[in-house]
Amino acid sequence: MRILSKYHLSFISLVLLSAIVLAACGTPATPAPVATTAPVAATAAPAATTAPVATAIPAGKTVKIVWWHIQTADNEKKNWDDMAAAYMKDHPNVQIEITVLENEAFKAKLATEMQSGNPPDLFQSWGGGVMQQYAQAGLIQDLTDALKKDGWGDTFQPGPLSLFSYNGKQYGLPWRIGMVGFWYNKALFAQAGIANPPSTWAEFLDAIKKLKAAGITPIALGEKDKWTGAFYWEYLAVRLGGKAAFDAAYSRQGKFSDAVFVDAGTRLKELVDLQPFESGFMADGMAESSTLSANGKAAMELMGQWEEGTALNVATDKAAYTKNLGWFPFPSIDGMKGDPSDVVGGGDGFVIGKNAPPETLDFVRWLTSVDNQTKMAAAGIAVPPVVKGAENGLTDPIMKQIFQNTAGAKYFQLYYDQYMTPAVGGTVNDATQGLFAGTAAPDAVAQQIEATAASELSK
Amino acid sequence: MRSVSGTSRLAAAPVEIQPRHRNGIGQLATLALFLLPAAIVYTLFVLVPIVQAVYYSFFKWNGLGGAPTNFVGLANFSQVLKDATFRGAFSHNMIILVLSIATQLPFAFALALLVRGGLRGRVVFRTIFFLPYVLSDVITGVMWNFIYKPSGGLLNSLLTIIPGFKPIGFLGDPHTVLTALFLVMTWKYFGLHLLLFLAALQNVPKEVEEAAAIDGASYWQTILWVVLPLMGDTARLSIYLSALGSIQIFDLVWVMTTGGPVSASDTMATYMYKFGFQRFSIGYGSAVALIIFAACLILSLIYQRLSRQQEIA
């Protein structure tokens, strides 16, 4: 038989052709976990410079800043692209190379870069224990002195800024702060006969029963990502035990297996037993749960302040989504030791890699100027903002609500998996997933977290 | 002078008889030169990392800062073996291994028998059956994620035809996730075994089969007692590849479920990634990696021993 008969050739070419055609019609604008490692010109924004190097190259050396961020939503990506372009126009000797990564892909890729001792010049950080590890290894720059110059540090609100400090020094700075709360669909609530959003745990469970009776999925949850469900457990622990309980456990004067943490698990089990989540929620990630909320398929979602932007990116009817959108903070519980104003949340911030050129600091200073922050607040991107005065740019009433809650919190708890070291954070996420799957009991969950904390935190 | 005789010996058919020792050195040098690039790559990317992994596994290290400093001896290994999640991951690997050999190989063999001759359009069938193997693990994972989705996925949409059917989250239920994953693996890898068996079947002389038929053996007796033993080598190779793949499987599981939910589909490799890399515990991850390496090594040694015995016999 001949090696390649006419038949074979035609079949192969058909397969190749269909592969190329199918590859070309991919779905547009999904938050895909693909890293676009390309200079600014290649990322979607048409307003960005067409070439990384400005037309007139001055006598000075061209400095390159490598910037990794995780804002994959179109409007946020364009915002960063535009700002970089504006900066490059004013500073022709600076070339900013942006890489956009999806959240999980970013964590994986950054870990490899950090372990090779080669951090990017400017990148996303949530502060807390993860940032501390980088600081301990000397991979990020100490910004304490830079912040003292010209009172730059004073332009920031102290709460968010403190998330990026370690050992009395500042290793990063925030550009957005926020909190986790319940995003709900007012129309679906009305349909189920719920007049007002619940303010206590009992009302919350009651609302869920009403929603189920009306045939509406009460809560959208993407538990495949694990940290999404951990939010519930963390908030319950924060409500039931307050700052005192967490501080005690973290400083090893108490334990994560103490009664308050077991209680948090018991309350969560109460919720899970009502089966309020979408079917197959254990296989859904945050992307799927946001899509459900965006398209009115679920009534509530416990998510961070970025939810509105993410949902708008995927909503089929954006106007309907915005019209029906409401927000309420995590309910209070009878007999709790925490304060109803306590907040679980986090901020997005910048850290600067150890090899970054000094122009990076200048760029970041410009990015976090009051002007730029106000612009971003008005555009619904830096919401809530972290620079004093920028909140005047806020137009979205929900964002104003979130800002007030964040600013008014006496106890602001950074998400556990960012506050503590990755090992303990990972255990919190893994263990609490067992509560949602029904495979772990509340005390077993608390024990598991305590076991890792005991070995990790006692250094 | 030496090099000229060397090249002429290579270029022409080996007719001239040269003095042996001059040839030996020239030939050795040529061999070494051609092997060098591959040897360098192999040493740098396979051997050196293995040695490094052995070194790191004795330390507690978060991967940052160039070199580990916290020596803990065998503590990592004992922690791995004590961890219930790892034991679960190991059992999942074993389940996949046994099931793969028990289902994929007979299935591929049966199809090979069907497709090997006489069937019209068998070339088309061969290509179609082999096509899944050509896809990358990641693409397969993403594709089957869509098929298994509870809301709008292909499988659930088809099953809704049955009255009273509620959508099942196949990948979200700890009880069904491993079976669902195994189906995808079977779909993907049986093509390779099919191809191997087809090639081996072609090497079975027709006369032997005809002789058996003349002696009164039924079709199935011929297959079982004549054809299969003659394919022994290939069958052993298939088993070996299947087992090795089962121990090392990562991409498919990671893309589809990341080892979840609640570690119900964790394999040793996903466990290593989660607990070693994601948690910045490089020493611990290296210990897991060495355990996987040991498992593969034992398997390879068994395979070598068995195939050597067969060759001698």
Find residue B70's DSSP bridge partners: B60
Q: Is the ipTM of this complex over 0.85?
A: no
Write out chain B residues lying below 8 Å of A114, CB-based: 63-64
Question: How far is CA A132 from each of CA A253, A423, B68, rounded to the nearest angstrom?
Answer: 21, 13, 18
Asked if B103 and B187 touch (Cβ cutoff 8 Å), the reply is no
Write out chain A residues lying below 8 Å of B60, CB-based: none
Q: Quick one: which H or E segment has residue A326?
A: strand A325-328
In a domain, B22, yes or no: no
In a domain, B37, yes or no: no
| pLDDT higher than 70, residue B2 | no
For B273, other C-beta atoms within 10 Å of its C-beta total 21
pLDDT (tens digit per residue) in A44-55: 333 333 333 334
Chain B from 6 to 65: CB within 8 A of any A CB? 62-65
Of these ranges, A16-30, A403-417, B1-15, B286-300, the one predicted with the greatest mean pLDDT is B286-300
Share of chain A above pLDDT 90, in %: 51
Which among A68, B27, B187, A81 is positioned nearest to B18, based on CA atoms? B27
Average pLDDT, chain B: 86
Write out chain B residues lying below 8 Å of A135, CB-based: none
CA atoms within 13 A on the CB side of B187: 15
> Chain B contact for A117, CB < 8 A?
yes
Buried b (16+ CB within 10 A) or exposed e, B165-177: eebbbbbbbbebb
Average pLDDT, chain A: 85
B60 SS3 class = strand
CATH number for the domain harbouring residue B188: 1.10.3720.10
Antiparallel, parallel or unpaired: β A298-303 and A343-352: unpaired
Phi, psi of B291 (to 5 degrees): -65, -40
Cα gap A261→A279, rounded to integer Å: 28
Residue A322: the pLDDT is: 92
pLDDT (tens digit per residue) in B218-253: 888 888 888 888 888 899 999 999 999 999 999 999
Q: Contacts for A441-447 with beta carbons within 8 Å, 24 or more apart?
A: A441/A265, A441/A269, A442/A262, A442/A263, A442/A264, A442/A265, A442/A266, A442/A268, A442/A269, A443/A257, A443/A262, A443/A265, A445/A233, A445/A265, A446/A256, A446/A257, A446/A258, A446/A261, A446/A262, A446/A265, A447/A257
Q: What is the largest CA-CA distance in chain B?
A: 87
Task: Compare CB distances from A437 to B131, B150, B174 and report the shortest one's residue.
Answer: B174
What letter would DSSP give residue B312?
Answer: H
For residue B57, the distance in angstroms to the closest alpha carbon of chain A comes to 16
Task: Compare CB distances from B171 to A107, A114, A283 and report the shortest one's residue.
Answer: A283
pLDDT (tens digit per residue) in A218-248: 999 999 889 999 999 999 999 999 999 999 9
Phi, psi of A49 (to 5 degrees): -60, 145
In a domain, B245, yes or no: yes
Cα gap A170→B102, rounded to integer Å: 59
CB contact under 8 A, A282 and B65: no
CB contact under 8 A, A433 and B151: no
Cα gap B136→B141, rounded to integer Å: 9
| pLDDT higher than 80, residue B49 | yes
Cis (ω within 30 of 0) for the bond into A384?
Answer: yes
CA dihedral defined by A183, A280, A432, A419, rounded to 10 degrees? -50
| pLDDT higher than 50, residue A37 | no
Residue of chain A with shortest Cα separation from B167: A279
A61 or A2: whose pLDDT is higher?
A: A61
pLDDT-derived band at B22, boundaries 50, 70, 90: low
3-state helix, strand, coil in chain A (%, to 5): 50, 15, 35
Cα gap B302→B239, rounded to integer Å: 12
Share of chain B above pLDDT 90, in %: 49
Cα gap A149→B297, rounded to integer Å: 60
Residue A49: the pLDDT is: 38
Q: What DSSP line would sit under A95-136, residue for residue? A: EEEEEE--HHHHHHHHHHHHHTT---SEEEE--HHHHHHHHH
Amino acid at B171: L
Cα gap A167→A378, rounded to integer Å: 35
In a domain, B41, yes or no: no
Find residue B121's DSSP bridge partners: none
Average pLDDT over residues B11-37: 74
In a domain, B48, yes or no: no
Antiparallel, parallel or unpaired: β A165-166 and A298-303: unpaired
Residue of chain B with shortest Cα separation from A114: B64
| pLDDT higher than 50, residue A87 | yes
Residue A56: the pLDDT is: 43
CB contact under 8 A, A11 and B151: no
What letter would DSSP give residue A384?
Answer: S
Q: Residue for token digits 């052993």?
A: B236
What's the angle, vertex CA A286, arms to CA A199 and CA A98, rounded to 5? 120
CB contact under 8 A, B64 and A434: no
Residue B51: the pLDDT is: 95
Write out chain B residues lying below 8 Å of A282, CB-based: 169, 171-174, 260-261
In a domain, B21, yes or no: no
Cα gap B53→B290, rounded to integer Å: 7
Domain count, chain B: 1
pLDDT-derived band at A4, boundaries 50, 70, 90: low
Interface test with B, best of A288, A429, A430, A435 (most B CBs within 10 A): A430
Share of chain B above pLDDT 70, in %: 91
Residue A41: the pLDDT is: 34
Q: What is the domain range of residue B138?
A: 82-312
| pLDDT higher than 60, residue B274 | yes
Residue A10: the pLDDT is: 73
CB contact under 8 A, B150 and A433: no
pLDDT-derived band at A32, boundaries 50, 70, 90: very low
Write out chain A residues lying below 8 Å of B263, CB-based: 430
CB contact under 8 A, A117 and B262: no
pLDDT (tens digit per residue) in A275-320: 999 988 988 888 889 999 999 999 999 999 889 888 988 899 999 9
A333 SS3 class = coil
Write out chain B residues lying below 8 Å of A11, CB-based: 124, 127
pLDDT-derived band at A459, boundaries 50, 70, 90: low
Chain B from 69 to 128: CB within 8 A of any A CB? 123-124, 127
Cα gap A429→B194, rounded to integer Å: 42
pLDDT (tens digit per residue) in A390-447: 888 888 888 888 888 888 888 889 999 989 988 899 999 999 999 999 989 999 999 9
Question: How far is CA A157 from each of CA A162, A176, B26, rounded to the nearest angstrom?
Answer: 9, 11, 76
What's the angle, vertex CA A437, arms to CA A277 and CA A452, rounded to 5? 125
Which among A445, A454, A70, A455 is positioned nearest to A226, based on CA atoms? A445
Cα gap A140→A153, rounded to integer Å: 18
pLDDT-derived band at B23, boundaries 50, 70, 90: low
Question: How far is CA B195 from each of CA A172, A235, B112, rounded to the nearest angstrom?
Answer: 56, 55, 8
| pLDDT higher than 70, residue A359 | yes
Asked if A232 and A330 touch (Cβ cutoff 8 Å), the reply is no
In a domain, B20, yes or no: no
Buried b (16+ CB within 10 A) or exposed e, B20-48: eeeeeebeeeeeeeeeeeeeeeeeeeeee
Task: Compare CB distances from A283 to B62, B172, B263 and report the shortest one's residue.
Answer: B172
Average pLDDT over residues A100-129: 90
CB contact under 8 A, B174 and A421: no
Amino acid at B278: Q
Cα gap B272→A438, rounded to integer Å: 25
| pLDDT higher than 90, residue B187 | yes
B6 or A278: whose pLDDT is higher?
A: A278
Residue B262: the pLDDT is: 84
Quick one: tokens of A15? 């397969």
pLDDT (tens digit per residue) in B57-110: 999 988 887 788 889 889 999 999 999 999 999 999 999 999 999 999 999 998
Residue A38: the pLDDT is: 35
Residue B120: the pLDDT is: 81
The sheet carrying A298-303 orders its strands as A217-219, A298-303, A181-185, A325-328
CA dihedral defined by A148, A150, A151, A153, rounded to 10 degrees? -60
* Helices of type H across chain B: 2-11, 20-42, 48-56, 75-82, 84-99, 105-115, 122-134, 137-148, 154-159, 177-202, 206-214, 219-222, 228-230, 232-248, 251-257, 268-272, 282-312
Nearby residues of A150 by Cβ (< 8 Å), 6 or more positions away: none
In a domain, B73, yes or no: no
A186 or B151: whose pLDDT is higher?
A: A186
